[in-house]
Amino acid sequence: MLAILLYKPAIAQWNKFLFDRNKEVVTETKSISSEEFYTTVYGQMKLAQRFESTTKYSLVAKEVREGYEEASETLDFLRDQKY
């Protein structure tokens, strides 16, 4: 039983390593509507929730959650500028 408890964090770290190694970062400049932006942020929130409920992808969930929080702050800023 102890081996299983020690093994689970290693799985999460390995999946985080693979995530970092295989992710592709692209910078684009594109005009989108607020609805498209909201849809993207909402999708990222749902993905973070799915990953958070697993031990296997918990570290990946942290990365996704941080991206979601940054996007949410941007969305709030844009809403404040609109009104």
* Residue 2 pLDDT > 60: no
Return the CA Rg of the chain: 16
Q: Tell me the pLDDT of the chain averaged across its residues.
A: 76
* Residue 83 pLDDT > 60: no
Cα-Cα-Cα-Cα dihedral sign, residues 42, 47, 49, 52? negative
DSSP of the chain, one letter per residue? -HHHHHHHHHHHHHHHHHHHHH-----------HHHHHHHHHHHHHHHHHHHT-STTHHHHHHHHHHHHHHHHHHHHHHHHH-
Predicted pLDDT of residue 23: 74
The pLDDT confidence band at residue 33, using thresholds 50, 70 and 90, is confident
More confident residue, 39 or 3: 39
Q: What is the pTM of this model?
A: 0.50
